[in-house]
Amino acid sequence: MEPLDTGECETGFCAEGEIAVNIGGVRVVLFGDVLNRYPESRLAELVNCSTQNSEVISSLCDDFDPGRKEFYFDRDPDAFKCIIDVYYFDEIHIKRGICPICFIKEMEFWKIDQSVLDECCKSYLSEKEDELKEIANKVKVILEDLEVDQCITRTQRCQRFLWRLMEKPGSSLPARIIAIASFLSILVSAVVMCVGTIPELQVTDSEGKLVEHPTLEAIETACMLWFTAEYLLRLASSPNKLHFALSIMNVIDFMAIMPFYVVLSLTYLGTSSMMELANVQQAVQALRIMRIARIFKLARHSSGLQTLTYALKRSLKELGLLLMYMSVGIFVFSALAYTMEQSHPETLFRSIPQSFWWAIITMTTVGYGDIYPKTTLGKCNAAVSFLCGVIAIALPIHPIINNFVVFYNKQKVLETAAKHEVELMELKSGRDARRKKLKLVHEKRLDMCLENHYQCECR
């Protein structure tokens, strides 16, 4: 490899099968037999056809200098320096600094398969590609939003309008108001649920049982109606009903609404004495717990919560690890504590399953103090278990945290990147037309100049 202007090798085919190429100003002399190791690559094709007609050559390279017998390629010389390695070492490493996506494009130009990329660089590449994919997804969403309403029917247009109103709080003022209202109603219903359980605020019904205050119940009903209306509107406006019904957020929504109606129907059945009253009440009690699901509805309004769920989903493995460490520790230390505390007459550790509770509380460093060891050995064991607990929690938590932080930081970046991508696309589509026009103008001007000159010379 030597810079172009040294110009020492004047012949492209000085020896048999030797070829001189000029890549963006860097001149390289290559040997044909080396190039033929990858016969499908562009350079190998060039070597093989170099004796043939110029048409093939011009299709393969950008320019051919017959005097110097040099093939010119209008490509990046830096990337080529890396790519040429494949002929000698059978593997390619992406030079640090070159964007991997860009490098892949170069490899495609030289018709070299991606599989020769070395492992170390492949992971680097796949990282970038993942990122690009995510950006592409976001872009798709944005484009869908931007899409002009080409819906023919009126119902479709209505549907789209509703969809935007319900799902895109940023699209318009009413949409934002709706989002805020639904957020507030979630909060109110959660508060009502909590306040309803305070005994002082409850009233006794005809049978002497404590039930919720009527005003609280009224608020609860109102919130439920709002949730139902929201859910139904969303469902009606969604373009793909099945997809909608199965997505997590909407499952949560459904779970939040469903108990209310089930309770209603059950009480109706109970009063009409089709079922036993005690059974009904038990079922109602069980369904009350389901009300908690409404808190998860907040996730729709908070990107932080979404990030959390995403991070947890991505780090399921680490969570499993955490649970496994914990359970192993719990088993070991509860068994140890049980055996060690046996000697004490007033031991609080009556059985191993009972001492599980103690182990959990100790290992997570909560320490209620309802069960505690009394013998010296047991106390030593407790100290060790506490230390192990700290380590067992801290070790697997780190990757989870890392995942979370990465996602949290990436979110904004991806958002801007997607926006930028859309802009770029618009720009590119607009540019093509303009370029054609400019090219025409330029050619005309050059012709005119030349003509003028010839006229002058003639005179």
Chain positions 328 to 367 lying near other proteins, rule: CB under 8 A, are: 357, 360-361, 364-367
Instruction: Kindly identify the residues of this chain, within the stretch 84-123, that bind other proteins according to CB under 8 A.
Output: 96-102, 105
Nearer to other proteins, 264 or 401 (CB): 401
Amino acid at 203: V
Site for other proteins contains 304 (CB under 8 A): yes
Instruction: Kindly identify the residues of this chain, within the stretch 14-33, that bind other proteins according to CB under 8 A.
Output: 22, 24-26
Q: Which of 107, 98, 99, 106 is nearest to 131 (CA)?
A: 99
Binding characters for other proteins, 172-191, by CB under 8 A (x = yes): ------------------x-
Q: Please pick, from the candidates 28, 308, 332, 377, the single residue that binds other proteins as defined by CB under 8 A.
A: 308
Site for other proteins contains 205 (CB under 8 A): no
Site for other proteins contains 243 (CB under 8 A): no
Instruction: Kindly identify the residues of this chain, within the stretch 281-300, that bind other proteins according to CB under 8 A.
Output: 285, 288-289, 291-292, 295, 298
CB of 144 to other proteins, least distance (A): 18
Nearer to other proteins, 221 or 285 (CB): 285
CB of 451 to other proteins, least distance (A): 11
Site for other proteins contains 195 (CB under 8 A): yes
Within 10 angstroms of residue 413's Cβ, the number of other Cβ atoms is 11
Stretches 193-201, 223-231, 239-247, 252-260: which one binds other proteins (CB under 8 A)? 193-201
Nearer to other proteins, 46 or 94 (CB): 94
Nearer to other proteins, 264 or 366 (CB): 366
CB of 108 to other proteins, least distance (A): 10
Instruction: Kindly identify the residues of this chain, within the stretch 124-153, that bind other proteins according to CB under 8 A.
Output: 128, 131-132, 135
Q: Please pick, from the candidates 10, 33, 63, 147, the single residue that binds other proteins as defined by CB under 8 A.
A: 63
Nearer to other proteins, 174 or 304 (CB): 304
Site for other proteins contains 280 (CB under 8 A): no
Stretches 255-263, 334-342, 373-381, 397-405: which one binds other proteins (CB under 8 A)? 397-405
Helix H, strand E, coil C: the string for the chain is CEEHHHCCCCCCCCCCCEEEEEECCEEEEEEHHHHCCCCCCHHHHHHHHCCCCHHHHHHHCCEEECCCCEEEECCCHHHHHHHCHHHHHCCECCCCCCCHHHHHHHHHHCCCCHHHECHHHHHHHHHHHHHHHHHHHHHHHHHHHHCCCCCCCHHHHHHHHHHHHHHCCCCCHHHHHHHHHHHHHHHHHHHHHHHCCCHHHCEECCCCCEECCHHHHHHHHHHHHHHHHHHHHHHHHCCCHHHHHHCHHHHHHHHHHHHHHHHHHHHHHHHCCCCCHHHHHHHHHHHHHHHHHHHHHHHHHCHHHHHHHHHHHHCHHHHHHHHHHHHHHHHHHHHHHHHHHCCCCCCCCCCHHHHHHHHHHHHCCCCCCCCCCCCHHHHHHHHHHHHHHHHHHHHHHHHHHHHHHHHHHHHHHHHHHHHHHHHHHHHHHHHHHHHHHHHHHHHHHHHHHHHHHHHHHHC
Nearer to other proteins, 364 or 375 (CB): 364
Strands 18-23 and 26-31: antiparallel
CB of 360 to other proteins, least distance (A): 4
Nearer to other proteins, 14 or 438 (CB): 438
CB 320 within 8 A of CB 361: no
Q: Please pick, from the candidates 370, 429, 433, 455, the single residue that binds other proteins as defined by CB under 8 A.
A: 370
Site for other proteins contains 384 (CB under 8 A): no
- Please calculate the CA angle 52-54-59 and round it to the nearest 5 degrees: 110
Q: Please pick, from the candidates 146, 173, 194, 278, the single residue that binds other proteins as defined by CB under 8 A.
A: 194
Nearer to other proteins, 131 or 159 (CB): 131
CB of 228 to other proteins, least distance (A): 22
Site for other proteins contains 445 (CB under 8 A): yes
